[in-house]
């Protein structure tokens, strides 16, 4: 009981779960687990980080990053956003960074 004599009520915030299915050229890498994030903006930031991390790895062969994207879905399977890998590239001083 709270100080007022009323029962305490616990408020539980349920964060939405987002699934990040990565398409690398002709290969689809599904995300079966997903991640709980606060909102679609946080999902966008996560997709950006995934794309940047993927582009920083040397695959041992050329990769056409223009064909790569991340499809972000919610728990109902609805597409929340599609993130092209090249959107993660920052241009500074005329050169990709």
The domain spans of the chain are: 17-96
Q: CB–CB of 30/89 below 8 Å? A: no
> Exposed e or buried b for every residue in 62-93, given b needs 16+ CB within 10 A?
ebebeebbbbbbeeeeeebeebbbeebeeeee
* Beta-strand pair 35-36/17-24: antiparallel
Q: Work out the mean pLDDT of the chain and round it to a whole number.
A: 88
pLDDT band at 23 (very low <50, low <70, confident <90, very high): very high
- Residue 52: CA count within 13 A, CB half-sphere: 12
pLDDT tens-digit readout, 62-75: 889 999 999 999 99
| pLDDT exceeds cutoff 80 at 37 | yes
Look at the block and give the residue holding tokens 């609805």.
Answer: 78
Token reading at 26: 């002709």
């Amino acid at each position: 009981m709270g100080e007022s004599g009323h029962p305490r009520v616990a408020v539980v915030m349920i964060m939405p779960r987002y699934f990040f299915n990565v398409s690398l050229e002709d290969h689809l890498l599904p995300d079966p687990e997903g991640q709980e994030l606060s909102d679609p903006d946080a999902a966008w930031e996560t997709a950006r980080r995934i794309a940047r991390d993927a582009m920083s790895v040397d695959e041992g062969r050329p990769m056409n990053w223009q064909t790569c994207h991340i499809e972000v879905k919610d728990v109902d399977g609805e597409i929340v956003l599609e993130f092209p890998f090249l959107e993660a590239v920052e241009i500074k001083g005329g050169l990709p960074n």
